[in-house]
Structure 1
Amino acid sequence: MSPELVELALHKQRLQIRSADQRAALIHHAQGFAPVFRGVDKVVDGVLWARNNAPILSGIGIFVLVARPRAALRWFRRGWLGWQLVRRARNLVS
């Protein structure tokens, strides 16, 4: 084997070792964000569940509206304010 090829192989090996060290460091530092990512995943799962079960949620909403109108209006107001907050946050992000 020529000395140039040996030198290239050694350089490649050093780069691979350095890359592995950087990958391990990144994984170690990113573990601090794991609880945040889990929380975001739970919220996304909840939104997807609500989208997939919209008829059930609508039925429950109608039942509560008939059975307890004041409570339903209170929850509607909270939901409306939450929806407005989400819309404004999306506008700020984009």
Structure 2
Amino acid sequence: MNRKRTRLAERRSLLIAQAAAQRTALATNMAPWRARLALADRGIAAVRYVRSHPALMVGAALLVAALRPRRAGTWLQRGLLAWQIGRRLRSR
């Protein structure tokens, strides 16, 4: 029984050392991606904020329509297209 516990303790310490080495390697490999991932996180947070406040989207659309009526139609069409593409991609 004591021999089994000794082997388990050795195996555990080996696994802990391997996990530490893997964490270090992962941190090194992910360093170049940190800025890009942070930007993606901010984008996701912005989308979630806008989703939780739909009145902001309506207000922005009305403001754009009031300031530039000619271009508003073009931008609204592009926005609708982007929204539809986003819904289709999300549903897959």
Give, in angstroms, the shift of residue 47 of structure 1.
0.9
Root-mean-square deviation (Å):
2.4
CA distance in 1, matches of 2:5, 2:63: 77
Which one has more relative contact order, counting CA pairs under 8 Å at least 6 apart? 2
TM-score normalised by L of structure 2: 0.70
TM-score normalised by L of structure 1: 0.69
Number of aligned residues: 91
Q: In the alignment, is residue 11 of structure 1 matched against residue 16 of structure 2?
A: no
Distance 1:80 1:5, change over 3 A: closer
Q: Tell me which moved more, 67-76 or 7-16.
A: 7-16
Which segments of 5 or more consecutive residues in structure 2 lack a partner in the other structure? none
Identity score, percent: 29
Per-residue deviation, residues 35-86 of structure 1 (Å, max 9, x unmatched): 3322221221111221233223312322332342112112102212212332
CA distance in 1, matches of 2:90, 2:3: 58
Distance 1:63 1:36, change over 3 A: closer
Q: How does 1:1-94 map to 2 (within 5 A)?
A: 2-91=2-91, 94=92
CA distance in 2, matches of 1:9, 1:63: 67
Q: Which runs of 4+ in 1 moved over 4 A?
A: none
Q: Tell me which moved more, 72-81 or 29-38.
A: 29-38
- Structure 1 counterpart of 2:53, one-letter code: N
